[in-house]
Amino acid sequence: MSLISDHTETVVYKGANIKLPLFLDYQSTTPLAPQVHEVLVAALKVPGNSASSTHIFGLDAKEKIEKAKEQIADLIAARPDEIIFTSGATEANNLALLGYARQFKGKGHIISVETEHNSVLSALNELNDEGFDVTYLPVEKDGRLSLKKLEAALSAQTILVSIHAANNETGTLQEIEKIGALCRTRKITFHTDAVQALSTKSIDVIQNEITLLSLSGHKLYGPQGIGALYVKRGTPFVSSSQGGEHQQNIRAGTLPTALIAGLGEACQLAKECRNKDDQQLLHLSAIVKDKLKSELGDEIQFNGNQRARIPGCLNFTFKDIDAEDLLLSNPSLALSTGSACASTSHAPSHVLLAMGLSASEANGTVRMGLGRYVTEIEADFAASLLVEAYRKMKT
């Protein structure tokens, strides 16, 4: 059994101590914020089921959950009663798409993009098998959806549009404000997977005309195993779970009070730290990019829109090498070759292929996720190690 403690060491780089291995995979998950940890542990110490209304323990649990709803709603400018708790974004995406579409009983047109997260694509494939007409729009080379192509694809039969706010592999931001406006003028429901965007970008469900929005705790410096789905008040829904009248009959099951309290705290912190985090991650990203460019030149290319993107998410392709081999030879850095949800698959990234990269280019691609607790010296160190590892592989 391999434990992190078995591989921990400290190295000196430019006069600073750096603890290894260095976690640089913030798009897969974020470390638990200390403030969230405190709230989580405190909630774990008190028993109580929020559905038990006859004693103080149940009422205490319900109060914690109601507070979390307010904190989450405040992050996205929603109402507390529009927040439905899930086990994470994968369930939230499935719940949103299946729960909304199935009221139409297999009739209707749905639009998404080829670069969506697998949890969205899998749910849409299931709806396609049920008789829905599903369109997967291509993206441009920078990963962005053409609004003209979206507008041309909309029809009188379109019932749902699902477009992520930011891509989890490249960090590319979509124009959700304009997408929401297009949907509003045609009275079409708009769902967005906002998991990757919310820690640094402001999303207002009212201004952006969003009907359904998915989010996840562990992408916001909150706990794993908890997420939420925003469902605009009055939106019709078909429940797929039975066994209790929890959460407006949309999702049954006892609510995990401690996890929910932690998610609420994480959302409050995200709103408070968003601007600071955004600027710091832009700075760290520039450090990495500048070093890689100056050292490797045209032997490296950066993927995705380089302006419309979430800060801290860097996706770059090394020339003529296999990225997995590079990462395996460099265990001091915790990086990835793509989505954590697809890490067991050896197939090239569907996101990069949709953007026009070849299979060999996709296989030579690394994703680096910088975050709130990464320092300048650590970012510089990581870039130096990547340059050194690449040159060794090329010799």
How many C-beta atoms surround the C-beta of residue 16 within 10 A? 13
Q: Which of 78, 91, 97, 238 is nearest to 159 (CA)?
A: 97
Which residue in the block uniquely carries the two structure tokens 């638990």? 32
The amino acid sitting at 328 is: L
How many C-beta atoms surround the C-beta of residue 17 within 10 A? 9
Q: End-to-end distance of the chain based on CA atoms, in angstroms?
A: 34
Instruction: Give the strands of the sheet with 313-318, arranged side by side.
Output: 300-302, 313-318, 365-369
Upstream peptide bond of 34 is cis (omega within 30 degrees of 0): no
Please indicate whether residue 341 is annotated as part of the active site.
Answer: yes
- What is the token pair recorded at 290? 């500048």
SS3 call for 123: helix
* Alpha-carbon span 69 to 82, nearest angstrom: 8
User: In angstroms, how far apart are the furthest CA atoms of the chain?
Assistant: 72
How many angstroms separate the Cα of 84 from the Cα of each of 63, 70, 88, 137, 229? 16, 12, 11, 29, 5
* Alpha-carbon span 214 to 260, nearest angstrom: 15
* Alpha-carbon span 255 to 226, nearest angstrom: 10
Helix/strand/coil percent split, the chain, to 5? 45, 15, 40
- What is the token pair recorded at 2? 């391999």
Active site residues: 341
